[in-house]
Structures are given as C-alpha cells and as structure tokens.
A = this chain, B = another copy of it.
Amino acid sequence: MFIELDLQSETPIYAQLVDQIVEGIASGALKPGDPLPSIRNLSEDLGINLHTVNKAYNLLKQEGFLQVHRKKGVIVQPDGMPGVTEEFEEKLRQQLRSLAAAAAVRGMSEEAFAQESKSVYRDMIMNRGGEQR
C-alpha cells in the first residue's frame, strides 16, 4: 500500500491516512480481506506517531471499513462494506454544502460544481486495478 503524506497540509495526518485508505478501497487497490500493516509497522514506515495510526485505524473500524483481529491483524472489511446510511447521507450533504458555498461565492456555477464532483469520482475509480502505486 502506498501512502503519501503531506506534512505541510492543513489536513491532519490521521485524516490524510483515513482518506488514502478509503481511496485505496474505492479504487480497488485495497480489496476486501487484504491485510494492512500493523500500527507499529505503519507508524515506523511513515515516521509518524503510533497514536496517529491508531486514531486512523479506529475511525475506519468504527465506519465499518476495516476489521481488527488478534490473529489476522488489521484487514479490509471482508463481510461487505456498509451502505449509504442516513447518518452518512447527512454528513455527506453537510460537507458538500460547505464546498458548494465556497464554490458559489467564487462564481463557480451549479453545473460546473456537479461536473467537478463527477470527474473527481470518475478519476478515482479509474485508478481501479490501475498502475502499481
């Protein structure tokens, strides 16, 4: 698994880690049942704190995207990903609203905003089974 952190970013490290693992699952680079590095290994590989990796893994476990086993370690959810819950829908709309507002104030049209959303989704999925990252 290839993780690239931007230490200059406003986005906290744990959130970058969450995003990249979710993108990995979405693109198919990470498949159900695939093992993830242990907390210790990943924190050492990336040169970041154990707690940061732990926080990211815990959030992903709570979301239902990962499972944590004593024996198997951390694996990508093998028993079906969670669906579009009401809670997720609510959170999605809230975050889209924040982005749409900034876009609208800057003069981006509804059509351009929807098009941007579409192309970002498509580009991400297009990585599916794509280049070795």
Contacts and interface: CB of A to CB of B under 8 A. Distances in A.
A3 interface: no
A116 B93 contact: yes
Interface string A101-133: 111111110110111111011111100000000
Q: How large is the interface on A (under 10, 10 to 19, 20 to 34, 35 or more residues)?
A: 35 or more
How many copies the complex holds: the figure is: 2
Contacts of A85: 106
A98 interface: yes
B105 A113 contact: no
Contacts of A124: 97, 100-101, 104
B106 A113 contact: no
Interface of A: 11, 19, 22-23, 25-27, 63, 65, 81-85, 88, 92-108, 110-111, 113-118, 120-125
